[in-house]
Amino acid sequence: MIMANSISQTANSRGHKKYGYFLGCVMPAKMPWAEKATLMISKHLGLDFEEMKETLCCVRPGVWKAINTDWWLTLTSQNLANAEKQGIILVDSCNGCWISHYETLKELTEEPAKLEMVNRNLSSIGMHFSGDLKVKHFLEVLYEDVGLKKIRSNVVRPLDGFRIMRHIGCHARKHGDKLPGYFDEILRATGVEIIDTPYDKTCCGLLLYFSDPHTSIFDRIGVKMSTAKELDIDAYAIICSGCYDQFERAVKVFKDERGISFDTPIVHFSELLAIAFGYKPDDFGMKYCRPIPTTKFIEKLASKEGKK
C-alpha cells in the first residue's frame, strides 16, 4: 500500500487525481475482453483508474497527419481539452492514440502559435486547452508508477510453460527504446517465455493497408503469423489495439484468399497479467468476440491448474 500512497501523492502534487483510460476506436468495438482485463488489473494494483468519458477517435496520425497537420492538431486537441477538463492523467494503451496525444501535446507546448490556432478553433465549441495535461502510455503507468516489484509480488499464478511471441508496434518505438523494454519486462514478470524471431520489429501493416494491401497483409503480418504457426507458440501478445485490428483483418483475408487458417490466439498483454494475478479467463470473457478461438490456451491453463 506504500506504493499506492506514493502514487496518489505524486499525482496530487501535479494537480491531477486519477488516471483516465482512453479507449479509442477499436478497443470498445473489437476487444471488450482487453478493456475488462485492463480495468481489472489496474484496480487490482490499487490505481485510481477509470475510463475517460466523451472520447472520440484519437484522430489517426497515419491518415490525418498526412492530410493536414493543423487539422490533426485541432481534432486531437478536443480530446486533450476534454481530459484537461476532467482533471485526469490521460492513459493510452493503443500506440496510435498515444502518439497522437503525446506529439500533439509536445507540439502545442513547444509552439505557442499552434496552441493559439488550436484554441481559436476550439473556442467555437466553447472549449479551451491550456496544455496542463499529462499523457502516459499504459506501460509507463505500470512500470514507472506501479513498479515491477509490485507487479511481481501480485503474480499468484505464474504462466511458466507458456511460449509467446510479442508485437509492440511501431509508434511505441518512436520516442526511445523505453517502451519495448517495459513491455518485455512486464511480460517476463508473468512468467511466460518470450520467443525472439527476426520479425518481432516488423510493422503490423495497418498503416500500409490503404496503400498496398498485398504487402500489408502477406509480407508484414503474414510472415509474423506463419512464424507463429511454425514455432507452435501458445499466444501472440500485443498491446496496441490498432495492431489487433490489423491482425484480425489479416487472419480473415488469409482464410478467404489463400485458405490458410492461423490458430495462434492473439491476446492483449493485460489478459496475461490478469490471468497471472489469479483471475479466471471467464472473469473478463476471454472466449467471446474472437475470430481466433482461445480454447487451446484456456485448456492448457486448466490442465496446468489440474496438475497442481
Smallest distance, Å, CB 170 to another protein? 4
Q: Tell me if 50 sits within 8 A of 19, measured CB to CB.
A: yes
Q: Does 65 bind another protein (CB under 8 A)?
A: yes
Q: Which is nearer to another protein, 7 or 115 (CB)?
A: 115
The per-residue DSSP string of 95-122 comes to HHHHHHHHHHHHHHHH-HHHHHHHHHHH
Question: 3-class SS at 170?
Answer: coil
State how far Cα 33 lies from the chain centre. 13
Q: Which of 16, 36, 136, 137 binds another protein (CB under 8 A)?
A: 36
In whole angstroms, what is the distance from residue 243 CA to residue 97 CA? Answer: 12
Q: Does 19 bind another protein (CB under 8 A)?
A: no
Smallest distance, Å, CB 304 to another protein? 23
Show contacts with another protein in window 227-266 (CB under 8 A): 249, 252-253, 256-257
Show contacts with another protein in window 132-151 (CB under 8 A): none
Cα–Cα distances (Å) from 150 to 40, 180, 255, 273, in that order, read 16, 20, 42, 12
Smallest distance, Å, CB 15 to another protein? 23
In whole angstroms, what is the distance from residue 168 CA to residue 199 CA? Answer: 11
Site string for another protein, 274-303 (x = CB under 8 A): ---------xxx--xx--------------
Looking at this protein, which amino acid is placed at residue 100? Answer: S
Show contacts with another protein in window 91-130 (CB under 8 A): 99, 110, 121-122, 124-125, 127
Q: How many residues bind another protein (CB under 8 A)?
A: 76
